[in-house]
Structure 1
């Protein structure tokens, strides 16, 4: 029986090549979108999921209560990890972890800048990072120890075995011994590094980390496995940790600035990175859910397209059903036949979809910055494909199968077959549903595009064009003055300074700020940065008062503040007013107009800037003359190689670094464009099918109208009006849904566009024009038919 079903199905496919091709293409495109999204979602969930002890790993975070706000932050005191391990027996391992660091490695004549971190001695005991050489307990247990990746070991020494025990000079200053070589980190690791230095060395380099009031690095812990094999009780430990900082930092007991510790499961850190009012509030998981819904929507649109096209051919297959029923075919067998045809088409579409995905995957990986591959050896991958094909085929074939198998054989064979209003309304409902989904994608695409464009063109308060960043390292630290003087004489260079961090990523924050009249209960967190002379000139900041100047000997205790800081302090005219930072009393010499020092997701915060005489580990910021970037970079590189020959020359453009703040939004916007286009295209295939069905049903009516003198335009209008009503209904339904959804998305931005009425009008007009063009082909074809032939049609 199944063999006969397949034969009949194949004959129908071969006999109706155009119909079959459109159906297969529609289903294939739907599955291409769904499969790409599935692979992307699968990759998102795989990030950090490979750690064997993942269920016992936690990120220790701070919930900071100040200034009437509650803020969650991953930064913690540098001494926290060792202290927690001593005080809490539930903790098996604990390790501090620094921000990304770049240092120049020198081995013989080879030198290059590498990216790495500082990590606690327990790091390799906690995380599944296989050691090729060395032992987890001793890899990072001494200040001069260094663990490197397989890639670095092969680059500098030829192999992991040859690297162990060898010395590497860092920043041309200190020699470190390779005590471990670890396997290159997998692509699905959220933390990237090619080397690790010991936590003891990190504390030695940064004395301020010994102060319990200073926060910067992160802290990870691993809990002991419960005796009965259950997961450890993290909630009970979290309750003990909550006020731990008060015990180790007596100053906090009297301070209005309150800090509580809490735990976030490490596997959740990547997808649930956003916090609101101090508590977890989404993150990348929102995009995972969004695209999961989009995948389902597009697959549904493809299935509806199949239903409409199958319905359009129902008149031609009605007699086949009538004959089969007369000779004894029961309804269940007919349903099996039509579902079998749908499944065969679906599996053909799946083969085509796999080929398209295979071709598109490199482009998709570039777009999403992923390394997704087909997991041919994974049974779950093939099971998912099989499940997707079966589900798609069953959904797509269900309505045509039920509808055609229900036809009355007597009415069919007498030629008196008429379709009821219920069937018509159902088909129209499918079209409305398709265009509702398409409208949601079109409106969402427009809003995302406008918000990204707003971000990219908004005046940030400083000029990010023609700015380049360099790292102050090596001989450049001692020869900075010479470097600056010579560079300012070079072609293409306009001005130069340095600062902690970058204009869009300040170095840190502090609440240790005093001023006359400050109340005992006032707690305000200030962003801060230390800079060189010419800071405001180089960034082209608007300034009242003056910048730091060598003409003023006391500028070491002078401060610049932004407008938000002045408002929070309560200074109407802050120039010349006193301010104390970290116990050093000074004077405010300049008021900077507010500029965005981080992404537009976050409101502008109070900022204090002080002068620093030491450029070490800071970012040199150079403003080039407009249109002379190439000449300027040539001048910088030439001087760099003269003064700092042992360090590789590298630079970054400020505008490119700014774009990285919105990498997720840009990827989402681009993907939304493609998915919206495909949704509309597949929807139009379905509309094409329904228009063909309607034209076929009204063939005799059209012939009569033409005989009575109806013109071609009037018939086209008659046939098109009903479909345009459906599109209009879809627009009315989709608009409020899109407004709600996009308002929720925009809520994550502190600075955002308004969703204006013309967005909905424009999207509606676009959908209407596309639908009209789709319908007009069938309408014009029907209107031009010879009325004699129309009236002869049985």
Structure 2
């Protein structure tokens, strides 16, 4: 007897042996629908085996129990048995997935190249921005005690207003250490200036600063020779950099204990040599001298009423910054710094690690600065990567019709949706992997140019595991993001409809693709508008009439013997044929940020406090600068009383409310001065700042001052050579250095220039990658409407008509993107322009220009595919259906 059959005595003959009908019905009715056919087949095979080996009763029992376990919700979704799971994720199957993926890449070389290159561009752009952001955030992060380091700034309250200033009184550092127990160490830090140092016949200019003996104990600058405790212990000590030690002594070891002459007037002893300060430090200097030596040369630094240096301090590890802030808030009250005047000054503190990125003053606090650019380009990196991923999605969707039959056949033969989705995600990760390799190569090639553009010294950190972690994270994130929508979309296709040739897409999938295009072009429009406005603003500040002629205006510092020989210097300089005018000033023509509050006038409010900008000038200063007089006269040697006279600008006259200012006496501290002339307003700071009240006095020359020379156009090289010869003759111990006012002025907007260039490059990349996505969507639409195009051509439609038909829907999306993006772009750029006291107006044509650029590029992209589809032979179009 056949073991699979038993004799049936009934008249119908023998009945085939099978599992219990009720158990089979449960399995067919309540098992997971995606795995139902596979489960039924597997269970029949298992039943046959049980029947042969265990007998009918045991086989029925096992079949029934297994069927009950496979009923939902007892069964695990999309998994039938361990056998199925092993099969789905076996190495052979994964190998097969990759083989199919490579075949698809090679089969559609153009689409594959666009996909890989588009993602690579987005990833490379994001990677370079991340390197730049990493470099920006690394500034000052090397200090061991960075979480305990702070700097002081002051809030000044007057006239119902409050403003923050970063300069502090010289005695403040020592007072903080005495008055606030939580503060371990403090140091004042002077502003950096170029000074002359010499050893024998070797003479060089170096960036010099002064600080207290706590400096090297607070900050982690590496000492090559000497100790942190002894580097700045004595008045005659100087700590120098490796570069400076090499220039004067050959090696750091040879420099220790040697003498070096400072400004040809004082011998200093090298007590320490530190490693050259890198670009990752906010504080930049070539040498440091003791603060006591600075006070010896600048007696005002002992005065609480004078402000100049920065002040840094280090907290104890267990200190509460909020309590320290409360303790130091009114510390200046006991110093009588305000002298009973109707205004007050309070101290505030800022973490030192925020110094570089948050260096701007906004009202009464330190807020903003380079951190705004870091945040901006973080968003740009994310947006460009999103645009690249959207481009991949659109291209993958455009090719869905070609993959649809593959999906349908595989589903019919038993492939589950999870397997299909996994395959398409694997293909996306493969493309992302190829793109990541290409992106790293692009970054390696473009990084030198990027460094030149951003004035950085970045390098790819090949040896750091964190770098490769970022690469892998970027690869996986991009692959999952870019592949998610195509994987879910393709794996959800209905096999019956696909094999019947009725591949249609519902409105939701259409809206998704159109929304992605709008999003892409919206971001591109924002970047284009930003580029236009930044370029216009930078051009505006560089070309704006400053109130003086900055062309052919040269200046160099008054130092060494020039201080005492200035009259002889001026006489000899004026005899040079190419020199038109010579004068001097206590600041520089490109920047003057000094301030004084001790000025009152008849009728001034004693409760009002106005900060004037003082500047000492020489005869012929207004002629040298080409300044205009609004009233009165310039200083003249014909009027000996001008030694007690002053010039003020128009802003000062408005502040003082004087209708007839010329000849009026005003009080400057305890002295009376007389206004002899009014200067038309001119900019003596960058256009980030509004013009402040200016008061100019006659005759002051200081070692920090400048000789200002107007040279004749077209004779610059020979005139500079003649000036250098005279300076070397009169001042042989000091190297001659000079600067052009227009170049120094332009340097103040270096950050804005860099941002403008980067915005331009990023806008180009964004629009380029967006057009790749638009190309994909146009291809997808053309494929979907192949039969319609054939029918229209048979009925007489022209190529132009078909192109217009295919293009109008895309142009609507681009126009929608322009409308939605314009208000966002206006808001972002309006906030950016707030950083300038003088700014351009945001005009309608800027948005129109950005829109026209986007539309023209979109039309070109769409037309390429539309014309190709419109010119296809209609017979081939109809046959393809």
- The bucket for the TM-score relative to the shorter chain is over 0.9
Contact 2:586/2:701 (<8 A) preserved: no
Task: Verify: 1:508 aligned to 2:600, yes or no.
Answer: no
| Structure 1 residue 615: Cα displacement | 4.3
| Structure 1 residue 2: Cα displacement | 2.0
| Structure 1 residue 613: Cα displacement | 4.0
Choose 306-315 or 179-188, whichever is displaced more. 179-188
User: Which of 384, 390, 399 lines up with 1:304 in the alignment?
Assistant: 390
Q: Secondary structure at the match of 1:112?
A: strand
Partner residue of 2:749?
Answer: 662
C-alpha offsets along residues 397-424 of structure 1, whole Å, 9 cap, x if unaligned?
Answer: 1111111111111111121221222211
Partner residue of 2:542?
Answer: 456
Task: Verify: 1:371 aligned to 2:457, yes or no.
Answer: yes
Contact 1:599/1:661 (<8 A) preserved: yes
| Structure 1 residue 275: Cα displacement | 2.5
Ranges in structure 2 where 5+ consecutive residues have no aligned partner? 1-92
Partner residue of 2:56?
Answer: none
User: Which of 540, 550, 561 lines up with 2:637 in the alignment?
Assistant: 550
| Structure 1 residue 120: Cα displacement | 1.4
Task: Verify: 1:27 aligned to 2:88, yes or no.
Answer: no
Distance 1:750 1:613, change over 3 A: closer
Q: Secondary structure at the match of 1:263?
A: strand
Bigger RCO of structures 1 and 2 (CA < 8 A, at least 6 apart): 1
Contact 1:507/1:528 (<8 A) preserved: no
Structure 2 CA distance for aligned equivalents of residues 478 and 252 of structure 1? 36
C-alpha offsets along residues 257-312 of structure 1, whole Å, 9 cap, x if unaligned?
Answer: 32111111111111111222202332211111110001000000000000111111
Task: Verify: 1:721 aligned to 2:808, yes or no.
Answer: yes
Structure 1 CA distance for aligned equivalents of residues 353 and 592 of structure 2? 28
Alignment of 1:341-360 (within 5 A): 341-360=427-446
Task: Verify: 1:337 aligned to 2:462, yes or no.
Answer: no
C-alpha offsets along residues 190-249 of structure 1, whole Å, 9 cap, x if unaligned?
Answer: 1110100110111111112222111111100111221xxxxx212111112112212112
Partner residue of 2:486?
Answer: 400
| Structure 1 residue 253: Cα displacement | 4.9
Contact 1:444/1:742 (<8 A) preserved: yes
User: Which of 178, 185, 190 lines up with 1:86 in the alignment?
Assistant: 178
Task: Verify: 1:535 aligned to 2:621, yes or no.
Answer: yes
Structure 2 CA distance for aligned equivalents of residues 752 and 242 of structure 1? 36
C-alpha offsets along residues 658-700 of structure 1, whole Å, 9 cap, x if unaligned?
Answer: 1121111111111000000000000000000110111111111
Task: Verify: 1:589 aligned to 2:676, yes or no.
Answer: yes
User: Which of 702, 705, 709 lines up with 1:622 in the alignment?
Assistant: 709
Partner residue of 2:342?
Answer: 256
Structure 2 CA distance for aligned equivalents of residues 531 and 145 of structure 1? 35
Structure 2 CA distance for aligned equivalents of residues 737 and 614 of structure 1? 52
| Structure 1 residue 365: Cα displacement | 1.0
Contact 1:66/1:523 (<8 A) preserved: yes
Structure 2 CA distance for aligned equivalents of residues 560 and 650 of structure 1? 30
| Structure 1 residue 516: Cα displacement | 2.1
Structure 1 CA distance for aligned equivalents of residues 562 and 360 of structure 2? 38
Partner residue of 2:165?
Answer: 73
| Structure 1 residue 514: Cα displacement | 2.3
| Structure 1 residue 597: Cα displacement | 1.6
Structure 1 CA distance for aligned equivalents of residues 281 and 619 of structure 2? 40
Structure 1 CA distance for aligned equivalents of residues 699 and 102 of structure 2? 79
| TM-score where L is the length of structure 2 | 0.88
Partner residue of 1:124?
Answer: 216
C-alpha offsets along residues 704-743 of structure 1, whole Å, 9 cap, x if unaligned?
Answer: 1111111111111111111001101101100111111111
Choose 696-705 or 552-561, whichever is displaced more. 552-561
Contact 1:116/1:192 (<8 A) preserved: no
Contact 1:246/1:253 (<8 A) preserved: no
Task: Verify: 1:744 aligned to 2:835, yes or no.
Answer: no
User: Which of 54, 68, 72 lines up with 2:146 in the alignment?
Assistant: 54
Q: Secondary structure at the match of 1:271?
A: coil
C-alpha offsets along residues 314-334 of structure 1, whole Å, 9 cap, x if unaligned?
Answer: 001111111111111111111
| Structure 1 residue 178: Cα displacement | 0.4
User: Which of 555, 570, 581 lines up with 1:484 in the alignment?
Assistant: 570
Partner residue of 1:229?
Answer: none
Partner residue of 2:722?
Answer: 635
| Structure 1 residue 356: Cα displacement | 0.8
Structure 2 CA distance for aligned equivalents of residues 630 and 523 of structure 1? 47
Structure 2 CA distance for aligned equivalents of residues 86 and 170 of structure 1? 32
Contact 2:212/2:232 (<8 A) preserved: yes
Structure 1 CA distance for aligned equivalents of residues 345 and 356 of structure 2? 23
Alignment of 1:685-696 (within 5 A): 685-696=772-783
Partner residue of 2:362?
Answer: 276
Partner residue of 1:115?
Answer: 207
Structure 2 CA distance for aligned equivalents of residues 698 and 646 of structure 1? 84
User: Which of 246, 259, 264 lines up with 1:172 in the alignment?
Assistant: 264
Contact 1:257/1:511 (<8 A) preserved: no
Partner residue of 2:738?
Answer: 651
Partner residue of 2:60?
Answer: none
Structure 2 CA distance for aligned equivalents of residues 702 and 376 of structure 1? 53
Structure 2 CA distance for aligned equivalents of residues 667 and 87 of structure 1? 45
Contact 2:616/2:701 (<8 A) preserved: no
Alignment of 1:63-212 (within 5 A): 63-212=155-304
Structure 2 CA distance for aligned equivalents of residues 507 and 114 of structure 1? 23
Choose 118-127 or 236-245, whichever is displaced more. 236-245
C-alpha offsets along residues 22-73 of structure 1, whole Å, 9 cap, x if unaligned?
Answer: 0011001101110011001111111101111111111011011123321111
C-alpha offsets along residues 356-407 of structure 1, whole Å, 9 cap, x if unaligned?
Answer: 1111111111111111111112111111111111000001111111111111
Q: Secondary structure at the match of 2:338?
A: helix
Structure 2 CA distance for aligned equivalents of residues 547 and 146 of structure 1? 44
Aligned length: 788
Structure 1 CA distance for aligned equivalents of residues 561 and 422 of structure 2? 79
Task: Verify: 1:293 aligned to 2:379, yes or no.
Answer: yes
Structure 2 CA distance for aligned equivalents of residues 610 and 287 of structure 1? 40
Contact 1:507/1:529 (<8 A) preserved: no
Ranges in structure 1 where 5+ consecutive residues have no aligned partner? 227-231
Contact 2:156/2:162 (<8 A) preserved: yes
Structure 2 CA distance for aligned equivalents of residues 573 and 4 of structure 1? 92
Structure 2 CA distance for aligned equivalents of residues 555 and 777 of structure 1? 76
Structure 1 CA distance for aligned equivalents of residues 426 and 871 of structure 2? 37
Q: Secondary structure at the match of 1:138?
A: coil
Partner residue of 1:759?
Answer: 846
Partner residue of 2:604?
Answer: 518
Structure 2 CA distance for aligned equivalents of residues 778 and 514 of structure 1? 75
Choose 352-361 or 541-550, whichever is displaced more. 541-550
Structure 2 CA distance for aligned equivalents of residues 259 and 38 of structure 1? 41
Larger radius of gyration, structure 1 or 2?
A: 2
Partner residue of 2:16?
Answer: none
Contact 2:428/2:483 (<8 A) preserved: yes
| Structure 1 residue 783: Cα displacement | 0.9
Partner residue of 1:608?
Answer: 695
Contact 1:491/1:631 (<8 A) preserved: no
C-alpha offsets along residues 88-112 of structure 1, whole Å, 9 cap, x if unaligned?
Answer: 2211111000111111111111111
Contact 1:443/1:763 (<8 A) preserved: yes
| Structure 1 residue 584: Cα displacement | 1.9
Q: Aligned Cα RMSD in Å? A: 1.2
User: Which of 17, 38, 41 lines up with 2:109 in the alignment?
Assistant: 17
| Structure 1 residue 182: Cα displacement | 0.9
C-alpha offsets along residues 158-209 of structure 1, whole Å, 9 cap, x if unaligned?
Answer: 1111100000011111110001111111220011101001101111111122
Structure 2 CA distance for aligned equivalents of residues 79 and 361 of structure 1? 46
Q: Secondary structure at the match of 1:508?
A: coil
